[in-house]
Structure formats: C-alpha cells, structure tokens
C-alpha cells in the first residue's frame, strides 16, 4: 500500500527518488553523510548508507549489496565526504538482509572495521546463507507453504524462490553483537541501539538523541511499508513484534528520520501512526474475507485481497511474500482472538 504523507527532509533526494534517478551524496548534518549505493535488479534501486564522522575515520550504518558496482559506489561516495574505504572503523548493520549486510565483509577486509549486528539476526545468518544448511530452510518453507494451501504444482517453485539472491551475500560473521538499548562506543556520538523486530527478528534502529536523528533501516520508510511475514526464520507473531516496535519508535524525540531506502523525512510520529493504521485496515480486510468464507486457507485468503496489481499478474516469487505476509496478519488476528485456525493440510481459518 503506497502513501505519501510525510514531509521530505531533502527535496533533492525525494525528487531523485520520484524521477527514477539516483540521489547525490548529501551532508545531512555536520558530520553525517548520506551515500546512495545501488541494488541490482530491484525496484528500490539503492540503499542509503550513512557515514558518521569520528576522530580519524567514519562509522557507517549499513553497507549495501555485495557487488562490484555497489562497492565502487560506496568507495566513490566516501571519497565525496573526504574519506577512504580504509577509514571505516565500524559497520553498524540494521539487519541481515543482503541489501544492508551484503558488503559488510568486504568493507571489513579493506579497512579492518568491526561489524555489529543484533544477536537475533546473527544467529540466523548461517541457516540462511550457508550452502549446507539452506536445504533445510527450503524444506521448512515448503512445509509452511503447504500448510498455507499453496497448490501442489507451485510448491517447489515458491519454496526455492529466493535462493538466487544468496549469491550477493558473503558469509561474514559479525565481530560484535549489539543489544537493545546499548550505547555504541563511537567517540563524539551518543548513538543508542533500538531493537525493532518484525521486518527481521534482529532489526535495529539507531537513535541519536542529541542530534534528534533516527537511523531507521527498513523499519520506518517514508512511502512504502516493509514486508512483515511469517517464514521459517521469523518469530511466531512477527506483526505483533513489528507494531509494538513501531509504536515504541514513534514515542522517541526525533526531528529527522534517516531510512535505508527512498528519502529522509520529518515527522516520525505521523508516519508511524499511518503505518499502524495501514496494518489495522489490512487486518480488517483479512478478517472480512475469512468471515465471508466457511473455512479458508491462507493462500486463498491472499488471492482475494487487494494488492498493488491483480493477483494473476503478480509473479510467482512475489506471491510467496504475499502469502507469508497474509499469514502474519492471520496469526496476529488469531492471537488477538478475532480468528481461529483449524490445523490441517492446509490449515483453515474461521471467525473466532
């Protein structure tokens, strides 16, 4: 669902987003830079890496995809800020997705920087990207899709749908685990980790109360909402985690939000309110679809919802995401006592 209710903090950056272009490296504040790094074959086009100046170097928030093009853009972007890749002292990664974590290992190799990640994402790295374990992940995904009611002929294709992206992620292990509330040891900065699970189990935002900045990763974006889905590596009720973490972030005293995609913006609390309202509308829509059927699978529910395009024209690898996102909402409604599930192959959903 797309909205445009936020006030951009940088007209130039917003314009670059809107026109399908590539934003410039920008100085956000004295000592804070925004560096766009391209993402291959993805409508999001780039991830915004932030460079925070330290005495004698920089820390970066997120790194980008592990491609030569992305690495080149990061090196060149740092050059605009007056630094070199060898000046990077720390890579603070908001979460383990390849557009954020992918390049971290290469940056460490070039600079000796430490990589920090939340333990809940660090724990999942091996199962997700290790060649020997990934078969198990696909098997569990297949089981989840079967219980959702995905038709048998599509099961294998959907279960293996994201395996090609593993090519873009090197298996770097983090050097430090960053816990909720931790104050990061970065001279000149009062940077606090805020654990915001939902989009991934170990997603982190970083708040800077003195400068009133929030590095929001994928947790809060100006125009789109991040995928919150049930999958083999998610928590049992990721939407509940997400909405709770969203409300908590909305209470922070923040002037400007520095997200990982699209463009930076103001008025965090308003955006948080809109995203929460969006999910409650979606919950109501799903409750109505289940209410109109006499026992319905997750997959059949998903096919009856409104998406950004008709269900028939959604490519199959994206239908898996749609199914798993629908499941996250069903599970939330079950936990709230608004729906009940009768387990089987597939699970069927009924009004409570």
Q: Which residues of this protein are in contact with Zn ion, per CB under 5 A? A: 97, 99, 218
Strands 7-8 and 26-29: unpaired
Among residues 1, 9, 2, the alpha carbon closest in space to that of 268 is found at: 9
Consecutive H or E run containing 194: strand 192-195
Sequence-ordered alpha helix ranges (H) in the chain: 11-18, 68-81, 98-101, 104-111, 119-122, 125-129, 134-148, 155-159, 238-250, 268-291, 298-303, 316-335
∠ Cα 230 344 239 (to 5°): 20
d(CA 100, CA 86): 19
Q: Toward Zn ion, which CB reaches closer, 97 or 271? A: 97
Among residues 301, 318, 307, 242, the alpha carbon closest in space to that of 275 is found at: 242
Give CB contacts under 8 A, 24+ apart, made by 312-319: 316/154, 316/157, 316/158, 316/161, 317/157, 317/158, 317/161, 317/162, 319/154, 319/158
Sign of CA dihedral 9, 11, 15, 18: positive
Q: Toward Zn ion, which CB reaches closer, 141 or 218? A: 218
Query: 143 Cβ partners below 8 Å, 6+ apart?
Result: none
**Residue with the two structure tokens 């002037």:** 255
Q: How far is the CB of 338 from Zn ion (least distance, A)?
A: 28
Q: How far is the CB of 291 from Zn ion (least distance, A)?
A: 32
Return the SS3 of 259: strand
Rg, the chain, Cα only: 20
Q: How far is the CB of 228 from Zn ion (least distance, A)?
A: 10
Q: Toward Zn ion, which CB reaches closer, 177 or 224? A: 224
Q: How far is the CB of 199 from Zn ion (least distance, A)?
A: 6
Q: How far is the CB of 44 from Zn ion (least distance, A)?
A: 7
Q: How far is the CB of 61 from Zn ion (least distance, A)?
A: 12
Q: Toward Zn ion, which CB reaches closer, 96 or 150? A: 96
Q: How far is the CB of 97 from Zn ion (least distance, A)?
A: 4
| Cα-Cα end-to-end distance for the chain | 27
Q: How far is the CB of 331 from Zn ion (least distance, A)?
A: 20
Q: Toward Zn ion, which CB reaches closer, 66 or 99? A: 99
Q: Toward Zn ion, which CB reaches closer, 8 or 202? A: 202
Q: Toward Zn ion, which CB reaches closer, 57 or 64? A: 64
What length is written for the chain?
352
Q: Toward Zn ion, which CB reaches closer, 39 or 289? A: 39
């Amino acid at each position: 669902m797309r909205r445009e209710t936020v006030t951009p903090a940088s007209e130039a950056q917003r314009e670059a987003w809107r026109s399908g272009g590539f934003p410039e490296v920008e100085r956000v504040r004295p000592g804070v830079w925004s560096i766009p790094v391209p993402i291959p074959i993805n409508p999001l086009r780039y991830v915004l890496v932030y460079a925070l100046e330290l005495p004698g170097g920089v820390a970066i928030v997120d790194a980008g995809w592990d491609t030569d093009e992305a690495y080149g853009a990061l090196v060149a972007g740092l050059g605009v800020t007056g630094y070199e890749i060898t000046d990077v002292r720390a890579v603070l990664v908001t979460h383990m997705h390849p557009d954020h974590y992918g390049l971290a290992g290469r940056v460490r190799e070039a600079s000796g920087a430490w990589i920090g990640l939340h333990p809940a994402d660090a724990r999942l790295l091996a199962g997700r990207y290790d060649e020997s374990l990934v078969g198990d992940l696909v098997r569990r995904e297949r089981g989840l899709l079967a219980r959702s009611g995905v038709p048998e002929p599509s099961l294998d294709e959907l279960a293996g749908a994201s395996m090609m992206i593993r090519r873009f992620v090197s298996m770097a292990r983090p050097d430090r685990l960053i816990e909720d509330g931790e104050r990061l040891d970065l001279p000149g900065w009062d940077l606090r980790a805020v654990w915001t699970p939902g989009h991934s189990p170990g997603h982190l935002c970083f708040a800077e109360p003195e400068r009133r900045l929030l590095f929001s990763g994928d947790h809060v974006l100006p125009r789109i909402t991040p995928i919150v889905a049930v999958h083999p590596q998610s928590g049992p009720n990721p939407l509940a985690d997400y909405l709770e973490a969203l409300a908590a972030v909305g209470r922070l005293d923040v002037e400007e939000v520095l997200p990982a995609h699209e463009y930076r913006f103001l008025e965090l609390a308003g955006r948080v309110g809109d995203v929460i309202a969006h999910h409650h509308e979606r919950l109501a829509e799903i409750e109505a679809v289940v209410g109109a059927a006499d026992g319905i699978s997750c997959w059949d529910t998903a096919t009856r919802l409104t998406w950004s395009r008709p269900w028939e024209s959604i490519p199959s690898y994206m239908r898996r995401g749609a199914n798993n996102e629908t499941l996250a909402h069903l599970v939330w409604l079950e936990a709230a006592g608004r729906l009940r599930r009768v387990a089987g192959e597939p699970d069927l959903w009924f009004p409570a």
